[in-house]
Amino acid sequence: TFATAFPYLYINEPMVYGQTLLPYDNEWWRFDLPIDANNVVVSLCGSSFNTILNIYSNCNSGTPIATNDNLCGTASQVTFSYLSAGTYFCKILGSGIDYGQYQLEITGEYVPVIQVDPTITNIDCNGNSGGSITTIVTPLVGSTLPFTYLWSNGETTQSIFNLTAGQ
């Protein structure tokens, strides 16, 4: 059930292995997205039996947001182009009376999040070109350095100088 779901934790964690022991047996897993993610794949490919995979967006819903049977041979896989931040649940079961060993892998790409702190110097008089902007970019979850810059005037540096009004 939702309440006893095993924690997969986050996408891109190592693959986990488990098994259903009897016909009509099922197991539940939970994974969390701290931020939005693209191309999320929940896969049972490589499992030893005919699987069915149901994905739920919350523990109060009796209806899965996705279900799959036999995408990769007799194993199941679901792909989401986008999932918003939150907790999701996977129900793994056999088709009909099938049961056996499975391998669960959840992969995806976190939507990069950055924090930009600009330091702005306004021009001192209309018509002058003493304006400037310097940015400090801090990567947050899902982002890595280096970053590239592209200002509206074509500059590609962290700081731009000699700006006039309206630039």
* Confidence at residue 82, expressed as pLDDT on a 0 to 100 scale: 94
- Angle in degrees, CA 45, 142, 37, rounded to 5: 50
DSSP state of 35: S
Rounded percentage of the chain residues whose pLDDT exceeds 90: 50
* Confidence at residue 29, expressed as pLDDT on a 0 to 100 scale: 95
Q: pLDDT below 50 — which residues of the chain? A: none
* pTM listed for this prediction: 0.70
CA dist., res. 83 & res. 57, Å (int):
9
Query: What's the pLDDT tens digit per position in 144-154?
Result: 667 788 888 88
DSSP state of 15: P
